[in-house]
Amino acid sequence: MPTFPFSEADPIQHPGPPPKTSEVVIVGGGVIGVTTALFLAKRSIPVTLLEKGRVAAEQSSRNWGWIRKQGRDADELPIVIEACRLWRQLAEECGEDIGLNQTGVTYLANSDKDMVGFEEFMKIAAIHELDTRLLDTDETAQLIKGMSRKFKGALTTPSDMRAEPWLAVPALARLAVRKGAKIIENCAARTLEISAGKIKGVWTEAGYIEASSVLVAGGAWSSLFLRRHGVSIPQLSVRVTVAATEPMPEIYSGAAADDHIAFRRRQDGGYTLAGGGSHLLYLGPDAFRHATKYIPALRNDPFGARYFPFAPSGYPDGWSTRRYWAPNSKSPFESMRVLNPAPQPARLRAIERNFKQLFPQFDNVRLKAGWGGMIDAMPDVVPVVDQVRAVSGLFVATGMSGHGFGIGPGIGRVVSDLVQGNEIGHDLSRFRLSRFYDGSRVRLGPAL
């Protein structure tokens, strides 16, 4: 079965060399880094984005492609509402078909407990005047016809959208370049240059860039990069397996999920499928270092995590992965240009089986591709978006916890203004890094 299309063997679309100076340097070419670069470039701020491998080659293209307001943490919701507006605007500006469609998102309830959780979100939805609705059993069956079992009900938001992430993020990167951003692929940031508590620049594998501000938006690699500089982020990564079907008749034009299966209509006429709640956590040094912070999440089990004692060689939290390296020596980021976990064969079989069980009328569901991805997770299932107080000019936006694609343009706009010292327009206190170290109680975001 073919695996994910992006790899370090793909041609470089954004070659170097990097500039000698740049007002802002962004580490990481996923949706957060790309959209931040785009909004800075729109303000004519000199910005350089460094990507160790290829733009969007990791989780920003491997995700489910959902753009949802539904099920969001209450503090995320204002930003994702803005993000939905920006998705429409940027889809027009980039002039490429990124598969953006307003087709809705639906969560299916297997139990009364599920319905109670949906009812709690309805209170948040009402505050923000969302079009979210709570459906009963019959209404759910009418919305998604042909399902083999009856559900207690459903939560649905018709205005939610979908897009093809492997098309969307590269298209936004090309737009950022047209607006004046510099994007350099195959160029790892090795270390930061910090003097008297201030950012002075970035050492890369291709030389030094003088800069006054740096944003670390490296997804699963952010914690490893920042720990090298004494900045601790309790971020872990969990592995997921996803599959794509061959084209097939439409059963639902949007995206839907229950505890066993998640599915989303694709632009090519097939479906993106994933398990409803099973992820694999590799137990490495950071997993043990930050274990106490994850106790509330483990009790609630938002990721349905299973555990494996050893990460593959070179993974961000691998036992053999180096935690220290010099600016003039090869870094772990050059050793693994693209984090490309293999899909789990057993999970692919389970995904196919669960989809067929829900829609038995399709006795021949053919999977054309399967891939793995690493979700950068935080103990409370909400991101870190903040300035690092100990280092002037250092910013971080990471730990999107599987929510990054949909909220990406909103976070990019927010971070671009944060870097410039402008008014943000949103309360970011929920996303501060210090919440993990100032004695605050871990407050879990919704596991919806």
What's the per-residue H, E or C state across 163-182?
CCHHHHHHHHHHHHHHCCCE
Nearest to 219 by CA among 361, 404, 38, 47: 404
Q: Which residues are CB-contacts of 127 (< 8 A; sequence separation ≥ 6)? A: none
Q: Are 170 and 56 in contact (CB under 8 A)?
A: yes
- The per-residue pLDDT for range 171-221, each reduced to its tens digit, is 999 999 999 999 999 999 999 999 999 999 999 999 999 999 999 999 999
The mean pLDDT of 414-425, rounded to a whole number, is: 98
**How far from the centroid of its chain's Cα atoms is residue 188's Cα?**
20
- Alpha carbon distance 298, 6 (integer Å): 32
CATH superfamily, domain at 21-104+159-436: FAD/NAD(P)-binding domain (3.50.50.60)
Does residue 248 register a pLDDT over 70? yes
The mean pLDDT of 261-269, rounded to a whole number, is: 96
Q: Are 446 and 72 in contact (CB under 8 A)?
A: yes
- The per-residue pLDDT for range 301-341, each reduced to its tens digit, is 644 567 777 888 899 999 999 999 999 999 999 999 999 99
Averaged pLDDT of the chain: 93
Q: Which residues are CB-contacts of 255 (< 8 A; sequence separation ≥ 6)? A: 64, 65, 66, 68, 103, 104, 105, 106, 160, 162, 262, 263, 264, 265
**What is the phi/psi pair of residue 51, to 5°?**
-125, 120
Question: Would you state the pLDDT for residue 389?
Answer: 95
DSSP class per residue in 255-275 = EEE-SSEEEEE-TTSSEEEEE
Q: Are 275 and 305 in contact (CB under 8 A)?
A: no
Q: Would the pTM of this model clear 0.75, i.e. be above it?
A: yes
Does residue 3 register a pLDDT over 80? no
CATH 3.50.50.60 residue spans of the chain: 21-104+159-436
- Alpha carbon distance 249, 127 (integer Å): 37
Question: Would you state the pLDDT for residue 438?
Answer: 92
Report, in this order, helix, strand and coil percent for the chain, each rounded to 5: 30, 25, 45
